[in-house]
Amino acid sequence: MKKLLLLLTFIGSLLAGAQNTGKIEGKITLEDGMPLSGATVYIKSLDKGTVTDFDGKYTIDDVTAGTYDISFSYVGFETITQSVTVTAGQTTTTNVSLKESDSMLNEVIITSSKQPQKITDVPASVSVIRAKDIEEFPSFNIGELAARQKGVDFVRTGVLGTGINIRGFNSAFNSKNLQVTDDRISMLIATGLPFGTFSTVTKDDIERVEILLGPNGTLYGPNAHNGLVSTITKNPRTSEGTTLVFGGGSQNVITGRLRHAQVINDKLSYKVHLERTAGREFQYVDSVYVGTTAYTEKNLDRDFDLLRYGGAVHYKTGKKSELIGYYGHSNNTNLGVTNAGRNQIKDWTMDLAQLKFVSDRFFANAYYTWSRTDETYAINQRTQNYVSFIENGFSEEESWRRALYEQWVPAFGIAIPRGALFKDASERFNAEAQYNNNWGDFYLTVGAQYQKDMADSEGTYLLDQDGPIDIAQTGVYGQFEYKMDSGWNFLLGLRADNHDLYGTNFLPKAAITKSIDAGTFRLTYGRGMAVPSILNLKGNLFGGLVLGNGEGFTLSNGNTVDALEVETINSFEAGFKGQLSDKLFLDTSVYYNMSENFISPLRNIVDAANNVYATHIGDTPIDEVSPGASASPFLLTYSNFGSVDTYGLDIGLNYYFSDAFRTSLNYSYFGRNLDTDDLANDGNLDGVVLESELPINTPANKFTLGLHYNKNKFYGAVFGRWIEDYDFFSGINVAAETQDLDGDGVNEIVENARVGRTWNYGPLGGFVVDANIGYSLNDNVSFGLNVTNLFDTDMREFVASPAIGRLISFELKYNVNFFKNRKNNDD
């Protein structure tokens, strides 16, 4: 009897509890009625919430009777808060339709913490290129949109060649900003350079691009050194339909694109995309010096051709879990700028295969990347080789053919190895697993990443005569957050990264944020590192003239050159992101960085005049690695040197005159402290510390002002950009004003004259105005026109590159939304 009474009491208490609670359920959709999966539903006062399933539906059980403010949010869309009353023992239905965010205050991003966060709560400085920005930008090159973001140094090398840098230390081989696409690293395997035109993703499939300023290596790993650029593509369930685009413009550009996404059933959906773009680069021929004589680049091909395609299949494995398979391919023929001249890139292909599992708590990702080219070559070196043959009586055909591999030395009557050909058969494997959860106000994210690079140049530009160079690295990370009702938020993160060559390095991160009604203040610290590329470590260029420094060198006089180490940065930042008035949004930050162990310019480590030569690479005799190197009068390699402190300010203002019209203003300042009396900062070991040896390569001041309009069927923008003139030094490339670098009374740098092995056109920078307009003829057809450098200003944006004149592009776009059509028919 006693047990029966206890059981009845227990059942009674459950029933009483049930009588005091109710349930909230509903559905979240887009404005056109399409279900929005993965949206967040959250009751802050109860710290209780959920995410929508793949049908856009959600349920929150056991909610104590009462009235609550519930927020509904999704990445890239406005956050909506509604008051909902819960009645005991009943179900309250609340359906919500979200629209794409017009106000940055309500926007949600995902990159900073790998979890959805309202942009005002993110403990970092963030710039976002949204789907709407991309759709209303009628250009075949969305890289131009990076020029409109705060804190970003935008550079351009040609029609398609665009890139960004963040907070200093730019070069023609800049790998300090990690770029990822849908959780895939988008960096070339052997060089570590960003994909750029090698990307397999087309413009119409991009949902958004999130740019994080400053170190972000704790969650993302090495080379998120100065910043992170994350591209996120569209989910076929929320972007069903077909897009056809035809475009063209200046420089004989013609482009065509196709994207199709479809939902097959409750579990299966897919998307495919395709692009073909061709045209001709701006008229520009670089100088190639042989001795003191200048030659033009031989057989320069300015035509470019880009083909890319791919597709993804999404399969629902549960209400809140999904399995995604992706494959992408690109083929590139174009011109590429390096720190030793330009490359003629010929049919360089990139392929990616990915399998990813996503749920509300667990994430797993594995992908494989492979790169192929057989005919790419260094224009500078091949031209030098060609001249050596043609001027010594060889035929045109033989001179050009042998110039891929050899250089003629008339003093000895022989040809020596000076290879200009670049082959690539490199591959990379990546895997990651991550778990996240929260217990009340405590949030935890933990994960592990693995990467194995298998670099293979087939003996053309790497020390890989015995087969591919395999280098692996493993990282584990954890991030802990404590979020208080008072608006305080504390974050601690730590990553341990183990590299085959560098052992273990630690990347800590810490942040304190305080939210007020107007926005959020933040104070952050982060440590980043840049790992030398495989080319830095195992390079073997131009017949051994340039060798990588992965193991160190021993010289005949007993001296040694230490092997390369990682470059590091410690960054402190304070900022505010919020709303100063009903119409004014501010995002500002100040930062102080301490950088050390830079990778030097190529420096000659032997001294033939004093009979000092290299004898060993690591413990191996150097001639076994590179035949003849022990007697070479020149041996160029890299080493670590120096330290510098940099500091700056970024300000972003957006003012909304109305829902249709806004203006944006961005300003950035960058400064530095370099101790020129510290010989540890001597990049080329000549006994004098020069700023040209340290690749700062960033303007002190830059300013942008934009006007944006969008109403009914019309949209447009006018965007002005001013960059203060600044000097740029990268390898043999120089763009700088006339100056006496070492104070000896002689100008080592002369503007509009030869400097070293290149021609110096003077410093980079200037002022340009861009404009774009568009009109939607109906729900399906739209037309847009973009003009870059509207007033045809003579402005050079990068070394070894032409001044970018006026560039006109247009797009005619046809969209069909099958889901919307089906919905209307059903109605």
Average pLDDT over residues 534-563: 88
Q: Which amino acid is at 136?
A: E
pLDDT in tens, 22-43: 888 888 887 767 777 777 888 8
458: Cα separation from own chain's centroid: 28
| Residue 819 in this model has a pLDDT that exceeds 70 | no
Percent of the chain exceeding pLDDT 70 equals 93
Helix (H, G, I), strand (E, B) or coil at 767: strand
Query: Quick one: pLDDT band at residue 530, thresholds 50, 70, 90?
Result: confident
How far from 378 is each of 246, 642, 702, CA to CA, in Å?
A: 34, 30, 33
- The set of residues, in sequence order, having a beta carbon less than 8 Å from that of 757 and lying 6+ positions away, is 289, 732
Tell me the pLDDT band of 202, cut-offs 50, 70 and 90.
very high
Would the pLDDT of 86 be above 80?
yes
The sign of the dihedral angle between the CA atoms of 678, 681, 687, 693 is negative
Q: Check residue 608 and report its DSSP letter.
A: G
Per-residue model confidence as pLDDT tens digits over 298-351? 999 999 999 999 999 999 998 888 999 999 999 999 999 988 889 999 999 999
CA distance 18 to 142: 54
| Domain architecture of the chain: domains with CATH | 2-99 (2.60.40.1120), 117-531+566-602+638-826 (2.40.170.20)
Q: How confident is the model at residue 480 (pLDDT cuts 50, 70, 90)?
A: very high
What stretch of H or E contains 480? strand 469-483
Q: Can you give the pTM of this predicted structure?
A: 0.86
Check pLDDT > 90 for residue 201: yes
DSSP 3-state of 98: strand
Question: How do 91-93 and 21-30 pair as beta strands?
Answer: parallel
Give the mean model confidence (pLDDT) for residues 480-509: 90
Residue range 266-310, pLDDT digits in tens:
899 999 999 999 999 999 998 899 888 999 999 999 999 999 999
At 119, the pLDDT band (50, 70, 90 cuts) reads low
- What is the model's pLDDT at position 820? 54
Q: 252: pLDDT confidence band, cut at 50, 70 and 90?
A: very high
Residue 278 neighbours by CB under 8 Å, 6+ apart = 252, 253, 254, 255, 303, 304, 305, 306
Tell me what the mean pLDDT of segment 4-22 comes to: 56
What is the mean pLDDT of the segment spanning 83-92?
87
| Nearest partner of 56 among 75, 78, 76, 30, judged by Cα | 30
The arithmetic mean of pLDDT across residues 394-407, rounded, is: 95
Percentage of the chain beyond pLDDT 90 is: 48
- pLDDT of 638: 87
Helix ranges (H only) for 611-708 are 622-625
Instruction: With a cut of 90, say whether residue 85 has pLDDT above it.
Output: no
Q: pLDDT value at position 781?
A: 94
Buried b (16+ CB within 10 A) or exposed e, 59-92: ebeebeeeebebebbbbbbbbbeeebebeeeeeb
pLDDT of 223 above 70: yes
Reported as a pLDDT band with limits 50, 70 and 90, residue 54 is low
Residue 694 pLDDT grade (very low, low, confident, very high; cuts 50, 70, 90): confident
Flag the least confident range among 196-205, 351-360, 619-628, 714-723: 619-628
Give mean pLDDT, residues 502-517. 90
Over range 352-361, report the average pLDDT: 94
Residue with more model confidence, 106 or 314: 314
Mean pLDDT in the chain? 87
Lowest mean pLDDT among 106-115, 258-267, 566-575: 106-115
Which tens digit of pLDDT belongs to each residue from 577-610?
Answer: 888 888 888 999 999 999 888 887 778 888 888 8
**pLDDT surpassing 60 at residue 11:** no
> Which stretch of 106-120, 483-497, 556-570 has the lowest confidence by average pLDDT?
106-120
